[in-house]
A and B are shown apart, each in its own frame.
Chain A
Amino acid sequence: MWFFTSPKIVFGSGAVEFLASLPTKKAMIVCDRFLAERGTHQVIVEQLAKAGAKVEVFGQVEPEPHIATVEAGVKLARSFEPDMIVGLGGGSAMDMAKAIYALYERPDLTIYDITPIVELNLHQKARLIQVPTTSGTGSETTWATIITEGEGGRKLELAHRDLVADWAVLDPMFPSSMPPKLTADTGADALAHSIESISSEWANPFSDAMGVKAVDTIFRYLPKAVKGDHVPPEVREELHLAAAMAGLSFGNAQVGVGHALGHALGSVFKVPHGRTVGLFLPYHIEYNFSAAREKLGRLAPVLGDSTVRNGRDLAGKVRALWDQIGMAKTIPECAKITEKEFEEKLPLLVERADSSTCVVSNPRIPSSQELERIFRAAWSGAPIDF
């Protein structure tokens, strides 16, 4: 027995106008600080005004958001009492919206209670709407939220089925202005979601359908979106939908050791999420291939039989894409740190990866020693041969 959980989805050009049709009295928009400064949220405000809603904007979400920001947002929500919460932005803003939403709906809980194995019974006071402005995180379609404990602190991997939005609004107008580096980082995250979830022990026919389609789209379109001076709108739209599909894939099958390693590196050395999980994706494939040969073989129709014959070739296919879009393939290319700093922090990196919930459905259960060996391989660029 298992579930496939998805928000209702409105997509395509003009999708944002759908918000005007939802009966709403008070809406709280949770968005990234730089989006609030640029006024991106005004597009949402206009639509909500058509619905006659009063709007409050919580525009303080920082990258890799902290618990303190959740608390500030919850305070605002409790005094404003919205019947709609809108997450607008990349993964940070949408994750923040989920955390604020949960604690607004359930004032009796703390953030640590947001685990998949308790009853939350949300969606009583407000609707949750997610509007992604980047194409990668997949947070708009998932039940997961990543909140950092504090400066340099651990990343809490919180999840609950009730955190899935009522509606995901996929309007390609938002990602159209993403700069190339952000397009590459977020696209790499989406590819990591797809491939890690296809290899997961929890993979199922529904998640696979989404994951395989997303892999096909990302390999086809990501180089065009990163390299072109003028990115055609249909390329942006394809990638925007693929990111949501990759979210449906991993949201229903889990990511794996690649994300465990990425979260550890990102939290210790403050590197953006997409860059770290992109870096570890080829290592995830090489490490897991022997245990996930059949599952990863499902990529044959889109990547070719010869590519999925062994881990080295499949990882090589990803590395070739990383070369095309300028993604880092080793830790020194990804994080500006010295070997001494790396060695000093290696025990902490291993401990954080070790305690990540992302390893729970990984095809191989990595020992602490193996995690250390993967970190070292990712430092030097050596292939995984154990």
Chain B
Amino acid sequence: MVKFPSQEWIEQFKEKVNQNAAYEDAAKSWEGDFIFLVEPDGALTAPVALYMDLFHGKCRDAKMLATPDEKSAAYTYQGPYSNWKKLINKEIDPIQGMMTGKFKLKGNMMKIMRYTRAAKELINTASTIPTEFP
């Protein structure tokens, strides 16, 4: 089991993304890095930012940032810790999550709306990590 959010979790995520042919197909022309911002609630007392550089169907780099403003990225997908837990457990659909205000996305909307299939595949991948939520 891997604790979420952590350096170990984002490394496993990178590994699994790079093994996922369906994600690679859906994101084959995607270029853009992400910050996944986990806002504190419940057991999480401070915000945690996970960084991922996604390029042409692969993840080139992934790490937990020391502070949320250590790095900026093309997109920030953010929501409270309890909603991240539901997302990874597939109790929240990533797109419906944004439409109901459970998550917020910052970045170029026009570009990302063409990659909704890649977004789904990304969450499907995250849900295959044996995750422990403190």
Contacts and interface: CB of A to CB of B under 8 A. Distances in A.
Interface string A346-386: 00000000110101110001111100000000000000000
Contacts of B98: 116-117
A161 B99 CA distance: 9
Nearest to A160: B99
Which secondary structure dominates chain B's binding surface?
helix
A3 B100 contact: yes
Interface in A1-42: 1-3
Contact of A115 (B28, B96, B109, B119): B109
Given A357-B116, A360-B116, A367-B22, A116 B121 contact: no
Contact of B100 (A2, A113, A115, A361): A2
B31 interface: no
A355 B114 contact: yes
Interface string B99-134: 110101100011001111101110000000000000
B15 interface: no
Contact of A367 (B25, B96, B109, B115): B25
B95 interface: yes
Contacts of A221: none
A149 to B, nearest CB: 11
A365 B117 contact: yes
A113 B119 CA distance: 19
Interface in B11-34: 22, 25-26, 28
A261 to B, nearest CB: 14
Given A2-B100, A355-B114, A365 B121 contact: yes
B117 A117 contact: no
A357 B117 CA distance: 8
Question: Which of B100, B109, B113, B119 is most buried by chain A, counting CB atoms within 10 A of its CB?
Answer: B113
B93 interface: yes
B93 A202 contact: yes
Contacts of A357: 113-114, 116
A118 B22 contact: no
A154 to B, nearest CB: 9
A161 B101 CA distance: 13
A37 to B, nearest CB: 34
Nearest to A154: B114
Contacts of A361: 93, 95
Interface of B: 22, 25-26, 28, 93, 95-96, 98-100, 102, 104-105, 109-110, 113-117, 119-121
Q: Which 3 A-B pairs have the closest CB atoms?
A: A112-B110, A355-B114, A117-B98
Interface of A: 1-3, 112-113, 115-118, 157, 161, 201-202, 354-355, 357, 359-361, 365-369
5 contacts: A117-B109, A157-B113, A359-B116, A359-B117, A360-B95
